[in-house]
Amino acid sequence: MNRSVANKYTVLTIEDEKSVRESIRAHLEDYGYNVLEAENGGAGIDIFKSNSPDAVLVDLKMPGIHGLDVIKIISDMSEITPVIVVSGSGEIESAISAIHNGAADYILKPISDLNILNRSINKCIRNSRERRQELLYRQHLEDELKRKSEEIEKKNRLLSDFNKRLDKIINSAFSMSKNRRLKDMGSYILEDFGSHLQATGGSIYIVEPKGLRLVHTLEPKHSPEFLPFPLKINSPFARVLESGKPILVDCMEAEAGLAPSGWDGYNDSSFMIFPLPDQNGSVMGLLSVHNKTEPPFVSEDREIGLLMSVFCKEANRSMNSIEALHLSESRFRNLSENSAAIIFSYSIDAGRFDYMNMSFDRLTGFSREDVLDNGIQNFTEIMGVIEKEDVISHFENLISGRSSGAGFEYRIVTASGAEKWMFQKTATIFNREGLPVMIDGIITEYSEQKEVEEKLKHLLEQKGILLNEINHRVKNNMQIISSLINLQLESNKDENSRNSLLATENRIASMALVHDNLYDTEFIPSINMESYIGSLVGNLIETRAMLPNINVKLNVSDLRLDLDRAMLCGLIINEAVSNSLLHAFSGYDGGNVTLEFETDGNYFYLNVNDTGSGFDFADINGNSAKGIGLDIIKSLVIQLEGHIEFRRNGGTQISLNFPVFK
pLDDT at 219: 78
Across the chain, mean pLDDT equals 78
pLDDT surpasses 60 at 616:
yes
Q: Which residue from 597, 575, 580, 578 is spatially nearest to 660, judged by alpha carbons?
A: 597
**DSSP category for residue 385:** B
- Most confidently modeled of 423-437, 478-492, 499-513, 600-614? 600-614
Whichever domain contains 123, its CATH number is 3.40.50.2300
Span 79-87, average pLDDT: 87
Q: Which residue from 252, 283, 281 is spatially nearest to 266, judged by alpha carbons?
A: 252
Instruction: Give the residue with greater pLDDT, 635 vs 512.
Output: 635
Do 309 and 347 reside in the same domain of the chain?
A: no
Q: Which of 393, 423, 443 is the last residue of a domain?
A: 443
Q: At what angle do helices 67-77 and 41-51 cross, to 10 degrees?
A: 20
**pLDDT (tens digit per residue) in 334-348:** 777 778 888 999 998
The answer to whether residue 496 is domain-embedded is yes
Span 398-422, average pLDDT: 84
The answer to whether residue 153 is domain-embedded is no
pLDDT at 605: 96
pLDDT surpasses 90 at 607:
yes
| Integer Cα distance of 657 and 639 in angstroms | 12
Do 587 and 622 reside in the same domain of the chain?
A: yes
The answer to whether residue 205 is domain-embedded is yes
| Integer Cα distance of 161 and 179 in angstroms | 30
- Most confidently modeled of 146-155, 385-394, 491-500? 385-394
How many Cβ atoms sit within 10 Å of the Cβ of residue 31? Answer: 19
Do 546 and 655 reside in the same domain of the chain?
A: yes
pLDDT surpasses 50 at 75:
yes
pLDDT at 499: 67
How many Cβ atoms sit within 10 Å of the Cβ of residue 417? Answer: 8
Instruction: Give the residue with greater pLDDT, 541 vs 390.
Output: 390
pLDDT at 500: 67
Instruction: Give the residue with greater pLDDT, 567 vs 229.
Output: 229
The secondary structure element, H or E, covering residue 273 is strand 271-277
Do 547 and 604 reside in the same domain of the chain?
A: yes
The answer to whether residue 611 is domain-embedded is yes
Bin 86: left if φ > 0, else alpha if -120 < ψ < 50, else beta: beta
pLDDT surpasses 80 at 246:
yes
Whichever domain contains 194, its CATH number is 3.30.450.40
pLDDT at 594: 94
**E strands within 90-133?**
105-108
| Integer Cα distance of 180 and 316 in angstroms | 8
Domain range for 511 is 446-522
The answer to whether residue 614 is domain-embedded is yes
Instruction: Give the residue with greater pLDDT, 606 vs 320.
Output: 606
pLDDT surpasses 90 at 458:
no
pLDDT surpasses 70 at 619:
no
pLDDT at 584: 83
- Most confidently modeled of 5-9, 74-78, 304-308, 642-646? 642-646
pLDDT at 337: 76
The gap from C-alpha 565 to its chain's centroid, in whole angstroms, comes to 42
| Integer Cα distance of 410 and 388 in angstroms | 9
| Integer Cα distance of 634 and 624 in angstroms | 12
Do 346 and 432 reside in the same domain of the chain?
A: yes
pLDDT at 541: 81
The secondary structure element, H or E, covering residue 585 is none
**pLDDT (tens digit per residue) in 440-454:** 888 988 877 777 777
**pLDDT (tens digit per residue) in 248-288:** 887 777 776 777 665 555 666 778 888 887 767 788 888 88
Instruction: Give the residue with greater pLDDT, 241 vs 148.
Output: 241
The answer to whether residue 484 is domain-embedded is yes
pLDDT at 223: 80
Q: Is the pTM of this model over 0.85?
A: no
Do 318 and 346 reside in the same domain of the chain?
A: no
| Integer Cα distance of 146 and 50 in angstroms | 33
Residue 468: which pLDDT band, with cuts at 50, 70 and 90?
Answer: low
Do 394 and 276 reside in the same domain of the chain?
A: no
Q: Which residues contact 140 (CB under 8 A, 6 or more apart)?
A: none
| Integer Cα distance of 5 and 31 in angstroms | 8
Do 192 and 281 reside in the same domain of the chain?
A: yes
Instruction: Give the residue with greater pLDDT, 564 vs 623.
Output: 564
Do 469 and 399 reside in the same domain of the chain?
A: no
Angstrom CA distances, 542 to 507, 546, 580, stand at 14, 9, 14
pLDDT surpasses 90 at 606:
yes
pLDDT surpasses 70 at 183:
no
Span 565-584, average pLDDT: 85
pLDDT surpasses 90 at 505:
no
Do 427 and 469 reside in the same domain of the chain?
A: no
- 3-class secondary structure, 160: helix
The answer to whether residue 145 is domain-embedded is no
Give the per-residue SS3 of 430-469.
ECCCCCEEEEEEEEEECHHHHHHHHHHHHHHHHHHHHHHH
Do 467 and 568 reside in the same domain of the chain?
A: no
pLDDT at 286: 85
Report the domain count for the chain. 5
Whichever domain contains 586, its CATH number is 3.30.565.10
Q: Which of 522, 552, 575 is the last residue of a domain?
A: 522
The answer to whether residue 108 is domain-embedded is yes
Q: Which of 476, 500, 522 is the last residue of a domain?
A: 522
Angstrom CA distances, 5 to 57, 127, 189, 436, stand at 20, 18, 79, 72
Annotate 598-639 with DSSP letters as a single string. Answer: EE-SSEEEEEEEE-SS----TTGGGT----HHHHHHHHHHHH
pLDDT at 654: 92
Do 433 and 345 reside in the same domain of the chain?
A: yes
**pLDDT (tens digit per residue) in 24-69:** 888 888 888 899 999 998 888 999 999 989 899 998 888 888 888 8
